[in-house]
Amino acid sequence: MAKGGYRGAPMGGVNMNMIKQAQKMQQEMQRMQEELETKEYEATVGGGMVTAKVNGQHTVLAVEINPEAVDPDDVEMLQDMVVAAVNEAMRKAEAEMNSNMSKLTSGLNLGGLGGLF
């Protein structure tokens, strides 16, 4: 063995740059998660008859129903609009989370790990 011992890759072959990138990504993910938890997403359906508001934690914050949407003879339509508005607001929250995650991981060279995110 050469004087001074083996001088191969540190930490059993783990690239230090990869560790730094992973730590940076973890910090960014934490910041993004905190930001998304407080952000509100809104969706309106039925020509403005029903509006739902959710946050990034997928908690329903509010449902607004236009009085004109209340038809005692067609409660099912109102129920469907409420479900549609809530689902659309949830989709918006999820889409933004996925978009942000994609942006976060696209610039990192994680070797074989890149496909996991």
Output the pLDDT for position 75: 93
Do 19 and 111 touch, CB atoms closer than 8 A? no
> From the CB of residue 53, how many other CB atoms can be counted at a distance below 10 Å?
18
Sheet holding 40-45, edge to edge: 40-45, 50-55, 60-65
Looking up residue 70, the CATH number of its domain turns out to be: 3.30.1310.10
How far apart are alpha carbons 91 and 80 in whole angstroms?
Answer: 16
Residue 74's domain spans which residues?
A: 39-104
- Report the number of distinct structural domains present in the chain: 1
Residue 92: which of 34, 47, 52 has the closest Cα?
Answer: 52
| pLDDT tens-digit map of 22-68 | 888 888 888 888 888 889 999 999 999 999 999 988 899 999 999 99
User: Which of 16-20, 38-42, 108-112 has maximum average pLDDT?
Assistant: 38-42
